[in-house]
Amino acid sequence: MKQESAAPNTAPASQSPTPSAQFPRNDGHPQALWIFGYGSLVWRPDFAYSNSRVGFVRGYSRRFWQGDTFHRGSDKMPGRVVTLLEDHEGCTWGVAYQVQGEQVSEALKYLNVREAVLGGYDTREVTFYPQDAPDQPLKALAYVATPQNPGYLGPAPEEAIAMQILACRGFSGHNLEYLLRLADFMQLCGPQAQDEHLAAIVDAVGTMLPCFCPTEQALALV
């Protein structure tokens, strides 16, 4: 993956304090929090937020290595969704959402069900570099699926992942929609956000799709 030049790890002068610097509320949650999304959260956060910023985190690569038996698949045919893999040379683009006040507890409650209970993800603190101010990084919360969770599928050839994506559907829609919406977001971010793993799966899907189903069905999926 293409790497960005190093940015000083200093708190932004114009941004809200990082979560650790906030005074906790009565429910134990911070007054404000940034949440980093790199999968479906980039186009469908489904929680109230005060601000959003496009940017990236360093030290991680995005991989379609997590199984999904609810949103994009089923128990018999798990879909493939993304997680973050620790990678010293990695750089993953996404969107950070700022939640404040009552939005904090509501967002965390919602995401606990969507990402943790139904998705198998754990939380992790990451350093987020906004695209418009990479020299002013933010601390953010990210949901990461580790190999220890029961839904973890791990690595596979991009062609095999593409075939699995083409075959799966869940309560949130077809697995192919998930892939293409994520690819669309990366295109909007520009060439600096190149994701070779994602691009290889999209290319494999493009090759397989005409043979996988009739043209009318293929167009309906897209």
Q: Are 96 and 196 in contact (CB under 8 A)?
A: no
Which helix (DSSP H) or strand (DSSP E) does residue 118 occupy? none
- What's the domain range around 39? 32-210
Residue 1 lies in a domain: no
Report the predicted TM-score, pTM, of the whole model to 2 decimal places.
0.83
Q: Evaluate if residue 21 carries a pLDDT over 50.
A: no
Question: Among residues 160, 183, 66, which one has the least CA distance to residue 118?
Answer: 66
CA atoms of 67 and 119, how far apart (whole Å): 8
Catalytic residue among 115, 125, 158, 159: 115
Question: Percent of the chain scored above 70 by pLDDT?
Answer: 82
Residue with tokens 């493939």: 80
Task: Give the model's pLDDT for residue 79.
Answer: 98
Rg from Cα positions in the chain: 18
Residue 134 lies in a domain: yes
Question: Percent of the chain scored above 90 by pLDDT?
Answer: 80
Output the average pLDDT for the chain.
87
DSSP-assigned beta bridge partners for residue 8? none
Residue 11 lies in a domain: no
Buried b (16+ CB within 10 A) or exposed e, 87-119: eeebbbbbbbbbbbeebbeebbeebeebbbebb
Residue 4 lies in a domain: no
Which helix (DSSP H) or strand (DSSP E) does residue 108 occupy? helix 102-111
CATH of the domain at 162: 3.10.490.10
Mean pLDDT of 52-60: 98
Residue 120 lies in a domain: yes
Q: Looking at the 3D structure of the chain, how many domains does it have?
A: 1
Q: Evaluate if residue 57 carries a pLDDT over 70.
A: yes
Question: Among residues 189, 210, 177, which one has the least CA distance to residue 68?
Answer: 177
* Number of helical H runs and strand E runs in the chain: 5, 7
158 is catalytic: no
Residue 216 lies in a domain: no
Task: Give the model's pLDDT for residue 17.
Answer: 38
